[in-house]
Structure 1
Amino acid sequence: MPITLVVADDQAMVRQGFSALLAAQPDFAVLGDAADGVAALEVCRRVKPDVVLMDVRMPRKDGIWAAARILGSGASLGSGGPAGAQLPADGASGRTKVLMLTTFDIDDYVYEALRVGASGFLLKDAPADELVRAVRVVAAGEALLAPSITRRLIREVTDRRPRRPRSDAVDILTPREREVLDLVAEGKSNHEIATELFVAEQTVKTHVSSVLAKLSLRDRAQAVVFAYENGLK
């Protein structure tokens, strides 16, 4: 089965370019596109794609607004997000993943995107092969957090926000799980973590799965946000 996609961007040339690039991949199928957040939500409700490439800044409603609804997070956004209000959980599909696209290498909205459950982000000027790889990574259920720019963004944005009281949930993690969470929060892949800890990559996968289950987190992206918001990094 092909990976099904929707491309949401307010610039027609960008939408068409990304759609053509992705449609050329034998394992991809582009089911639709949208020029703003409202249209993106409507398209995703109708076709239920595996992955949405979502521009952060769009007219009417932006990509954060749309991502929160598509993912059904119902997250309460801060003043940096659209409207700053509680969003209803009316997601388009339980399986849909959101990959945010931005022109800006440091953008407060990207942090909000991770909070509402986006699986990561890419710069719009990323090479074509990087975009294709990113879609495959996100479709497979992984978070796209490896690029150093993601680590820098999360660190800079969270450093400007007040830290929450440390969650008691951290205490249920084993010392090794805490260590793995720290490395995940640095944006390191399972392979990189395995190399640093001198363990098998499958062992790292087991630890990551345990951390997510114990902390009731959806994926690695939310694990990163959790670590920073609770002062673990």
Structure 2
Amino acid sequence: MTGNRTAAITLVVVDDQATIREALAVMLDLAEDVTVVATAANGAEAVAAAEGHHPDVLLMDLQMPVMDGVEATQRILRDRPDSNILVLTTFDDDESILAALQAGANGYLTKEADRNTILNAVRTAAQGQTVLAPEVQRRLLTLASRPAPTPATPQPATAPSPPDDRTANLTAREREILGLIGEGLRNPEIAARLVISEATVKTHINNLFAKADLHSRADAVRYALRHHYQEE
């Protein structure tokens, strides 16, 4: 792959199917601002590539031999917490989506995405921002609207978990914006939804990040999902 571009986004492509892996690598490396520095056929190779190349983004499949994409994501982020991992998979079921996001991925696309969609997602992920395919956003909204399951039988008494009260000091507007971030909306979309200026949205986001000890938009998406389930 091309390796002499300056200020290019460095990318590792991870997929167990050689034809898909190489096609993605060639297609994405053609972009002027992207350089594919390595490819990997499974999660273990992805972990090694992340350690050896320190890429800006890893484009990660989920179902792979040796080590799947969720475990690879966890291991990479354990060693390099600032890594940006964009999932690209054929699976858009609830379990796969939640597993990947909870592992720390800051993007999720399906393989139905076209070249421009994937490229724009890589660019977004390289900035540490969250990008979700429309169908994934719909899945998350469906999950968020489901009532919490009622246990069929009494559960044994256990010590209660400490409450996560990082949002206790958020204003109603900040909570609302946190929920919209959890839906995958970007600042202009939030501003349009709430009929406020984008500058006001940024101010609210800065405040809620400080109050809830969040460090990135990906953190906010994951926290919004977890916080919703705690409120159910």
Q: What range describes the TM-score normalised by the shorter chain of this pair? A: 0.7 to 0.9
Correspondence for 2:44 among 38, 42, 61: 38
Structure 1, unmatched stretches of 5+, are 73-90
> Shift of residue 168 of structure 1?
1.8
Structure 1 length-normalised TM = 0.82
Alpha-carbon distance between aligned partners in 2 of 1:157 and 1:61, rounded to the nearest angstrom: 27
**Contact 1:114–1:222, Cα closer than 8 Å, also in 2:** no
Alpha-carbon distance between aligned partners in 2 of 1:200 and 1:41, rounded to the nearest angstrom: 41
The answer for the alignment partner of 2:10 in structure 1 is: 4
Alpha-carbon distance between aligned partners in 2 of 1:45 and 1:157, rounded to the nearest angstrom: 35
The answer for the alignment partner of 1:82 in structure 2 is: none
Write the deviation string for residues 15-39 of structure 1: whole angstroms up to 9, x where unpaired.
1011001110011111101000001
The answer for the alignment partner of 1:133 in structure 2 is: 120
Identity of matched residues, %? 40
Correspondence for 1:97 among 84, 87, 98: 84
The answer for the alignment partner of 1:171 in structure 2 is: 168
Larger Cα-atom Rg = 2
**Does the alignment pair 1:184 with 2:144?**
no
Amino acid at match of 1:208: I
**Contact 1:50–1:95, Cα closer than 8 Å, also in 2:** no
Amino acid at match of 2:24: F
Write the deviation string for residues 38-63 of structure 1: whole angstroms up to 9, x where unpaired.
01000110000000000011101100
Alpha-carbon distance between aligned partners in 2 of 1:116 and 1:162, rounded to the nearest angstrom: 23
> Shift of residue 179 of structure 1?
1.6
Paired residues, what number?
A: 213
Correspondence for 1:52 among 48, 52, 58: 58
The answer for the alignment partner of 2:3 in structure 1 is: none
Alpha-carbon distance between aligned partners in 2 of 1:106 and 1:24, rounded to the nearest angstrom: 31
The answer for the alignment partner of 1:153 in structure 2 is: 139
Amino acid at match of 2:185: K
Correspondence for 2:69 among 32, 42, 63: 63
The answer for the alignment partner of 2:196 in structure 1 is: 199
The answer for the alignment partner of 1:86 in structure 2 is: none
Alpha-carbon distance between aligned partners in 2 of 1:217 and 1:71, rounded to the nearest angstrom: 16
> Shift of residue 157 of structure 1?
5.1
Deviates more, 1:115-124 or 1:48-57: 115-124
Correspondence for 1:108 among 79, 91, 95: 95
Amino acid at match of 2:16: D
Alpha-carbon distance between aligned partners in 1 of 2:218 and 2:52, rounded to the nearest angstrom: 26
**Contact 1:100–1:110, Cα closer than 8 Å, also in 2:** no
Alpha-carbon distance between aligned partners in 2 of 1:221 and 1:108, rounded to the nearest angstrom: 18
RMSD: 2.3
Deviates more, 1:173-182 or 1:58-67: 173-182
Write the deviation string for residues 73-98 of structure 1: whole angstroms up to 9, x where unpaired.
xxxxxxxxxxxxxxxxxx2x343200
> Shift of residue 105 of structure 1?
2.3
**Contact 2:166–2:213, Cα closer than 8 Å, also in 1:** no
Alpha-carbon distance between aligned partners in 1 of 2:106 and 2:185, rounded to the nearest angstrom: 15
**Given the superposition, is the C-alpha separation of residues 170 and 199 from structure 1 closer, same or farther in structure 2, using an over 3 Å criterion?**
same
The answer for the alignment partner of 2:33 in structure 1 is: 27
Alpha-carbon distance between aligned partners in 2 of 1:46 and 1:203, rounded to the nearest angstrom: 41
| 3-state SS of 2:32 partner | coil
> Shift of residue 203 of structure 1?
2.3
